Homo-oligomer: A and B are copies of this chain.
């Protein structure tokens, strides 16, 4: 193993892109990587003229934001630890990537990474797999945006966050545990994710709390008390019986 020394103790080494490629590609990758920290709120790559760079998230959450000239904007996706951030082979995307929380990243400069993609089919293959999964989840999210009620949207969101943040906090525990978790997004950001207004999100939080399904502490912590009920609400509003 001639990987970069830091990789051996990396928190996401078993799930990230770099675990799915050969030693040669891995050591070439390690050669061009920079481990960096990014504070909450910083834009990683701005649309539409994004000076391309690519990253693997070590810790923190990145939001992919679609902004329009008229001021409307929407979060088109969230990326969590081990996820890849960046749009290879094009910089004309409407999306910008922003740090939703403080981040630790493995960052690669644009050209160098794209050259490696050309040299190592296994690296490109691993990235391809990841992009396919991003596409699956984008299409899944379209269903949420298009078909679900406010109640279902908020419940679905909390399920997803519980799973992802639970995984980030305790990589090996099952998702239905009841520990306090950090909410990586403000109410406004949650609203932008779900295509709701923050007032609507807030009201749904209140209802879920009243039902004893979730608990909150301060603005940024929550705990799922009944994952079964939360999942039920996330799939069908008509469980009112």
Contact = CB atoms under 8 A, between A and B. Distances in A.
Interface of A: 64, 66, 68, 70, 72-74, 76-77, 87-90, 93-95, 121, 124-125, 127-129, 131-132, 134-136, 138-143, 145-147, 195, 235-236, 238
Given A87-B132, A89-B132, A135-B134, A66 B143 contact: yes
Nearest to A192: B146
A193 to B, nearest CB: 9
A139 B136 contact: no
A15 B33 CA distance: 36
Given A68-B147, A70-B236, A94-B139, 14 more contacts: A72-B147, A73-B147, A74-B147, A76-B139, A87-B136, A89-B132, A93-B136, A121-B124, A128-B131, A131-B131, A135-B138, A138-B142, A141-B142, A145-B145
A77 B119 CA distance: 32
B87 A140 contact: no
A132 B90 contact: yes
A238 B95 CA distance: 23
Given A146-B195, A147-B195, A128 B124 contact: yes
A140 B87 CA distance: 14
Most chain B CB within 10 A, of A66, A121, A145, is at A145
